[in-house]
Amino acid sequence: MKEVPNESKKKWTRIFKKKWFFPALYIVIAAFLLTGVVWYQNVQSNLIEGLDDNEQSDSYNPSYFDEDAESVLQQQEVIKMPVDEEVQTEIVTKFYDYNAEQEEQEKGLTLYNNRYYQSTGVDIASSDGKAFDVIASLSGTVTEVKEDPLLGNVVVMSHGEDITTYYASLGEVAVEPGADIKQGDKLGTAGKNLFSEESGTHVHFEIRKGETEVNPEDFFNEPLNKLVDFNVEEQEEPQAEEKNEEEPEANEEDAENGTDSDVDLDEEEENEKDAEEDSEEKDAEANQNLSFSITA
């Protein structure tokens, strides 16, 4: 009987002695190693890409969510004066308020060409009368830049929610239409204009909701959402009611005055008639006395 183990050993020995055996073995091992390295790299890259996707998905929001977030943040802004806090300024012309006292209303009048005009904003000038930087009161977009023959250079900004700010009497302008401006960014410098010569070097500042100007002093250092929630119509309706209520009173007064004047006219006519009668009686008495003296 033949021993099988010896024959198998001989076969492996023959195979080992072949010249191609070890190169083939090296190639197979190298192929396995390369396959493992490539597989490991793919796994690692997939893990990294998955982490990146998660980070992007966490930080990414659709555009409409971004707009809502920006609008909410913008409404949390506090309305500032259009000048740097380090500059010493004062309001030289106030907003004309129909409900204010006469003394305050006089501070809201602007004299031009021998006529007084009601101010729809405030004129802000420096204490030393020198030029100063004019900054954005709120974040927004520049919608208009123009040169007005009476008001000087003008910049208009939109802040959403139908709210705009208006900067006039600028000497120099540092922005262009369409520019996105952050609160506190420089818009230009204060200058002079023909309409408000008495204000000297200043900036004319207005806040508008829709087509209606509001008193800027009522909203300085107040959040923007206070202005957003402010109802202009409710403010105007009481004024209209007061005017309507005053008109009947005026009519009643006119009617009373008219009645009194009629009474006065009647009294004057009666007095004139009495005076004429007295004069006629005196003339008659004088004639009688004269005739009596003649006969005597």
pLDDT digits (tens, 9 = 90+) for 116-171: 999 999 999 998 999 999 999 999 999 999 999 999 999 999 999 999 999 999 99
CB atoms within 10 A of CB 272: 10
Nearest to 139 by CA among 206, 92, 48, 70: 70
- The answer to whether the CB of 137 falls within 8 A of the CB of 165 is yes
pLDDT of residue 1: 45
pLDDT of residue 157: 98
pLDDT of residue 232: 81
pLDDT of residue 36: 82
Nearest to 158 by CA among 178, 172, 184, 175: 178
- Residues of the chain short of pLDDT 50, as ranges, are 1, 60, 64, 69, 237-265, 286-296
Give the separation between CA 100 and CA 120, rounded to whole angstroms: 14
CB atoms within 10 A of CB 107: 15
Degrees, nearest 5: CA angle 134-167-160: 105
